């Protein structure tokens, strides 16, 4: 996607005449990374008004690598709408992902999602049990938080069964100037794995790609089936990994351990039942040597966003309110002037690109010499190479 889009001039043109989006396809392309700046619920977008998951998958999926159907998936909550916009803006503009959908589980969230012109699927039927809507519902560790977390494996299992390669991402993630799908697929191909996850006791569920194979379908179905027991125990969906590592799947971290893992699975005739998950380190460990460094704040040196080691930023060890300042500190909060659009049902705030106010805002991405693969575990990070040369 050209780095100069979307432009303020075309936005002003749309404000003066909303029908421009209906008659000029280049306008839709210009706002692909920020569809919320198009006229609310514009019929120019083919998916607007379509909320059935399977139909939306048909409209939005695209071939990736050797797979004829691939989809990126994230969930949406009106409370965190601006975070989702920042994620989508970076994923589309800098990560090159076009084939994504957004899942919602309440009528209020669906209305807000639709007002932002996002491809919104109603996934409420996948909730493992009803929400209790307590006063603090949705806060970390609450019943509703855990129920909402457990909707993810159920939806992913459904998509895998339909033959989709799936990229799952949390919305509190910012992608850098690297091809997201190509980076993941190259990593999985090189390791002969079935999926790739960030490493974290043993894996982090915030961003991963999983391929539609018998072993992965079985694993994710078993993952989803653990929901009711886990919710009763006050656990979110990531707890499954600690319980099932070794018995339901194997993990590997480099070419040698992945080769050994694949050989073990083959030797034990478990190719169709036990997937191999390639794991990779949090990218900023190469800079800070601390997985919680971004959350700790302080005077952290800026990351080189062009470094192949920095594939995406995912601040953990902090609550929602602490994430935006961390992104701002690294120059990866790309939004500003977030206000409701006229005529919207939900009055959800739609954000403009911050570079409309500050033209240099995205320079760290624009100045990357090449659009090269991330997750290249065999390529040394820029910081390491610089230290060795010194």
- Mean predicted lDDT score pLDDT of the chain: 92
pLDDT over 60 at 389, yes or no = no
| Residue 283 CA neighbour count, 13 Å, CB half | 24
- 38 found inside a domain: no
- 2 found inside a domain: no
Which has the higher per-residue pLDDT, 293 or 147?
147
What's the pLDDT band for 384 if we cut at 50, 70, 90?
A: very low
pTM for the structure as a whole: 0.94
Within 8 A by CB and 6+ apart from 190, the residues are 255
As a whole-number percent, the residues of the chain with pLDDT over 90 amount to: 75
Write the CATH number for 130.
3.90.550.10
Residue indicated by tokens 């966003």? 305
Q: What is the pLDDT of residues 149-182, one digit of tens each?
A: 999 999 999 999 999 999 999 999 999 999 999 9
- 3 found inside a domain: no
| Residue 95 CA neighbour count, 13 Å, CB half | 29
Burial class, 230, CB count within 10 angstroms (exposed 0-12 / middle 13-18 / buried 19+): buried
Task: State residue 388's pLDDT score.
Answer: 42
Task: State residue 382's pLDDT score.
Answer: 54
- 20 found inside a domain: no
Arithmetic mean of pLDDT, 237-265: 91
- 383 found inside a domain: yes
Q: What is the pLDDT of residues 62-97, one digit of tens each?
A: 999 999 999 999 999 999 999 999 999 999 999 999
- 41 found inside a domain: no
Task: State residue 129's pLDDT score.
Answer: 97
Number of domains in the chain: 1
Q: What is the pLDDT of residues 5-25, one digit of tens each?
A: 999 999 999 999 999 999 888
Alpha helix segments (H runs only) across the chain: 8-16, 20-23, 25-30, 53-60, 81-93, 107-115, 143-149, 151-161, 180-191, 214-225, 227-232, 239-244, 255-267, 285-288, 293-296, 320-329, 363-366, 382-389
- 21 found inside a domain: no
pLDDT over 90 at 272, yes or no = yes
* Dist. CA 244–CA 132, nearest whole Å: 29
- 29 found inside a domain: no
Domain that holds residue 123: 48-388
Q: What is the pLDDT of residues 27-52, one digit of tens each?
A: 999 999 999 999 999 999 999 999 99
């Amino acid at each position: 996607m050209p780095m100069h889009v979307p432009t303020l001039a075309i936005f002003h043109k749309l404000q003066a005449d909303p029908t421009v989006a209906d008659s000029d396809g280049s306008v839709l392309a210009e706002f692909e990374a920020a569809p919320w700046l198009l006229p609310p619920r514009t019929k120019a977008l083919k998916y607007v008004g379509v909320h059935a998951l399977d139909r939306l998958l048909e409209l939005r999926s695209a071939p990736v690598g050797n797979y004829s159907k691939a989809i990126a998936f994230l969930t949406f909550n009106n409370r965190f709408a601006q975070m989702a916009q920042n994620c989508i803006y970076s994923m589309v503009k800098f990560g090159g992902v076009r084939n994504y959908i957004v899942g919602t589980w309440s009528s209020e969230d669906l209305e807000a999602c639709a007002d932002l012109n996002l491809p919104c699927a109603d996934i409420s039927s996948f909730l493992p049990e009803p929400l209790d809507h307590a006063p603090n519902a949705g806060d970390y560790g609450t019943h509703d938080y855990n129920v909402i977390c457990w909707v993810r494996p159920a939806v992913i299992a459904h998509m895998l069964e339909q033959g989709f390669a799936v990229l799952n991402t949390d919305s509190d993630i910012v992608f850098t100037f690297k091809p997201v799908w190509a980076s993941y697929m190259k990593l999985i191909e090189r390791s002969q794995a079935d999926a790739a996850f960030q490493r974290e006791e043993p894996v982090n569920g915030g961003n991963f790609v999983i391929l539609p194979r018998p072993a992965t379908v079985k694993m994710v179905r078993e993952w989803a089936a653990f929901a009711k027991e886990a919710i009763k125990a006050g656990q979110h969906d990531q707890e499954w990994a600690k319980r099932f590592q070794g018995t339901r799947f194997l993990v590997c971290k480099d070419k040698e351990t992945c080769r050994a893992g694949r050989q073990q699975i083959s030797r034990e005739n478990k190719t169709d039942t036990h997937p191999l998950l390639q794991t990779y380190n949090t990218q900023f460990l190469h800079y800070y040597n601390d997985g919680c460094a971004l959350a700790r704040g302080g005077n952290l040196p800026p990351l080189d966003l062009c470094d192949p080691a920095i594939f995406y930023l995912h601040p953990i060890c902090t609550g929602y309110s602490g994430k935006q300042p961390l992104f701002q500190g690294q120059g990866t909060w790309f939004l500003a002037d977030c206000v409701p659009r006229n005529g919207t049902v939900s009055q959800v705030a739609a954000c403009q690109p911050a570079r409309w106010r500050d033209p240099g805002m995205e320079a760290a991405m624009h100045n990357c010499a090449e659009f090269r693969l991330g997750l290249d575990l065999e390529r040394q990070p820029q910081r390491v190479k610089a230290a060795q040369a010194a």
